[in-house]
Structure 1
């Protein structure tokens, strides 16, 4: 089993990333930042994440990553170039084209967790500037448990508390 920490859209708030890493960094196998970090490329925080460039990042981060985790493949992008505000379709097609079974993105500032066939799509929401239905939580990130039988996705708030109503489990 692998554990993935997924965060996005902190928009320069380095303190929250440090807090999350301090609490959960050693409990996970992989750490993903889905863009709009607004961090300097030489920030020590950047070295802690598989990070992609968002529309508000000006450093030379990659626009997308493909990460092999055992038999699983993670496709990661911010999402602005895939038009995720309108539809996840372009994201899904790109993820499938690289044989990914997990697609991570951000940009919308709205959390999302769904399974489309064999593809898990996860947006952790914005940790600093949330929007939409779960805005009142005040910012979210998630941890994805990956096993051969299932995906389990748990969301946490800015105070690092588990949000029980945002627990998702999908059989594979």
Structure 2
């Protein structure tokens, strides 16, 4: 299975269009799109509301099952994700999630805690800490192998990690 994840595009329709056009079993936006829920660019994406989104039709969180994985998606601002993953971890446990997707910090990263994969795709428009704009691709198989790739807007891998037992 393969999913594509982006976040914090802050009104940049070009990056949303480019990422949403990629081939995947599902596509996610972790909030701060600053677009309307009616925008056709978002029609094939699972999207949550970020702290900069004014359209209240976006949900604060989503639980989606893709293949054999239960995926929790939030923006992260209500989970103190810039300081710690602990509130996200508790939420993942509460929702029995295998994968947690979140944004807000504008920094990409992946971490495995107690068998739960946490992925922040970074920002496609306004990355922090001197990083380049990124989104994430997550691929997994039925035996527990997983690869998370962070790609720039030229679709080149800038970082990746391979995990087992998720």
Task: Give TM-score, length-normalised by structure 1.
Answer: 0.91
Question: Contact conserved, 2:5 with 2:27, CA < 8 A, in 1?
Answer: yes
Displacement after TM superposition at 1:157 (Å): 0.3
SS in 2 for 1:45: helix
Distance 1:66 1:21 in 2: 19
| Two-structure CA RMSD over aligned residues (Å) | 1.0
Structure 2 counterpart of 1:17: 16
- Which of 54, 66, 71 does residue 74 from structure 1 map onto? 71
Larger helix proportion of the pair: 1
Aligned residues: 163
Displacement after TM superposition at 1:85 (Å): 1.0
Structure 2 counterpart of 1:7: 6
Distance 2:9 2:37 in 1: 15
Structure 2 counterpart of 1:142: 136
Listed as ranges, the gaps of 5+ residues in structure 2 are none
Question: Contact conserved, 2:109 with 2:122, CA < 8 A, in 1?
Answer: yes
Question: Contact conserved, 1:64 with 1:76, CA < 8 A, in 2?
Answer: yes
Runs of 4+ in 1 over 2 A off after TM superposition: none
Listed as ranges, the gaps of 5+ residues in structure 1 are none
Task: Give TM-score, length-normalised by structure 2.
Answer: 0.94
Is residue 39 of structure 2 the alignment partner of residue 43 of structure 1?
Answer: yes
Question: Contact conserved, 1:10 with 1:126, CA < 8 A, in 2?
Answer: yes
Distance 2:148 2:118 in 1: 10
